[in-house]
């Protein structure tokens, strides 16, 4: 059996800074910075919006929509969590009220492979690497390459093409300008593109090279 190992490192965006997203707990609920109950004398605090809403109704008999500051808890995303969030987005229903364009490019074997990839990414979300079978690794990258339809109907698609719009890949749709860095972050080390050195990273400057070349031309007896 052929295995592919992806380093489970923090993935950077096109700016070179880590990609960040709202933290999810083990029940896949969004985590917020501590939300404190505004009622006088109440010391209740929670990081889950659901718990806050239930507390307001059950303990104070008040509408859960209290005017309190609610700020998401953000965290840097590693390779495993980017895989998990991509699959969560893919799985979200496609409705007229909340369209999910990814569901419109779903194929027959996606359910089986995505379930296996989810299991491996979830079990290794806190590990140093994510191991995938080759077919799972190939599916993940092929999935990111899939093109999303420009519109739901042929007429709308034709109109958008005439206006100069082009279909986006799923990677472009999800990650925008960070598409390439995310792809690299989800790629095994031997397959990654080598980073181009900045001028200050190069071992010798152009001037040093020229001086060295000139020095080599001077005969030994003249030195």
Condensed to tens digits (0 to 9), the pLDDT of residues 34-57 reads: 999 988 889 999 999 999 999 989
Render 165-188 in DSSP notation, one character per residue. Answer: --PPBHHHHHHGGGHHHHHHHTS-
Q: How far is CA 171 from CA 33, 54, 186, in A?
A: 30, 38, 12
Predicted confidence at residue 177, as pLDDT, reads: 96
Question: How far separated are the first and last CA of the chain, in Å rounded?
Answer: 64
Specify burial of residue 12 (Cβ count, 10 A radius: 0-12, 13-18, 19+): middle
Whole-angstrom distance, CA of residue 142 vs CA of residue 2? 18
Question: For residue 61, what are its two tokens?
Answer: 């008999």
Check whether 221 has a pLDDT greater than 80: no
Residue 81's pLDDT band, with cuts at 50, 70 and 90, is very high
Q: Which residues pair with residue 132 across a beta bridge?
A: 4
HEC-encoded secondary structure of 16-53: CCECEEECECCCCCECECCEECCCCCCCCEECCHHHHH
Specify burial of residue 218 (Cβ count, 10 A radius: 0-12, 13-18, 19+): exposed
Predicted confidence at residue 36, as pLDDT, reads: 92
Whole-angstrom distance, CA of residue 163 vs CA of residue 186? 34
Check whether 213 has a pLDDT greater than 60: no
* pLDDT tens per residue across span 122-152: 999 999 999 999 999 999 999 999 999 877 6
Most confident of 113-122, 144-153, 158-167: 113-122
Predicted confidence at residue 166, as pLDDT, reads: 84
* pLDDT tens per residue across span 87-97: 999 999 988 88
Task: Quote the distance between the C-alpha of residue 25 and its chain's center.
Answer: 17
Whole-angstrom distance, CA of residue 22 vs CA of residue 73? 6
Q: Which residues contact 188 (CB under 8 A, 6 or more apart)?
A: 4, 5, 6, 137
Q: Which residues contact 82 (CB under 8 A, 6 or more apart)?
A: 11, 19, 182, 185, 186
Predicted confidence at residue 196, as pLDDT, reads: 67
Give the CA radius of gyration of the chain.
26
Whole-angstrom distance, CA of residue 81 vs CA of residue 121? 7
Predicted confidence at residue 88, as pLDDT, reads: 96
Predicted confidence at residue 203, as pLDDT, reads: 59
């Amino acid at each position: 059996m052929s295995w592919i190992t992806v380093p489970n490192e923090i993935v950077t965006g096109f700016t070179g800074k880590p990609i960040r997203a709202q933290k999810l707990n083990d029940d896949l609920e969004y985590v917020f910075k501590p939300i404190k109950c505004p009622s006088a004398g109440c010391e209740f605090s929670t990081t889950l919006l659901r718990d806050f809403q239930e507390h307001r109704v059950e303990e104070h008999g008040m509408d859960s929509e209290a005017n309190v500051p609610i700020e998401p808890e953000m965290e840097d995303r590693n390779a495993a969590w980017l895989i998990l969030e991509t699959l969560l987005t893919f799985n979200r229903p496609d409705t007229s009220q909340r369209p999910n364009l990814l569901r419109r490019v779903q194929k027959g074997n996606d359910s089986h492979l995505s379930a296996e990839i989810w299991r491996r990414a979830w079990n290794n979300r806190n590990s140093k690497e994510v191991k995938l079978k080759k077919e799972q690794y190939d599916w993940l990258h092929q999935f990111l390459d899939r093109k999303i339809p420009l519109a739901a109907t042929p007429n709308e698609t034709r109109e958008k093409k005439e206006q100069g719009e082009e279909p986006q890949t799923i990677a472009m749709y999800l990650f925008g300008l960070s598409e390439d860095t995310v792809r690299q972050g989800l790629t095994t080390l031997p397959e990654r593109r080598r980073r181009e050195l900045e001028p200050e990273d190069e071992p010798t400057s152009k001037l040093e090279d020229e001086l060295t070349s000139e020095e080599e031309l001077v005969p030994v007896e003249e030195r």
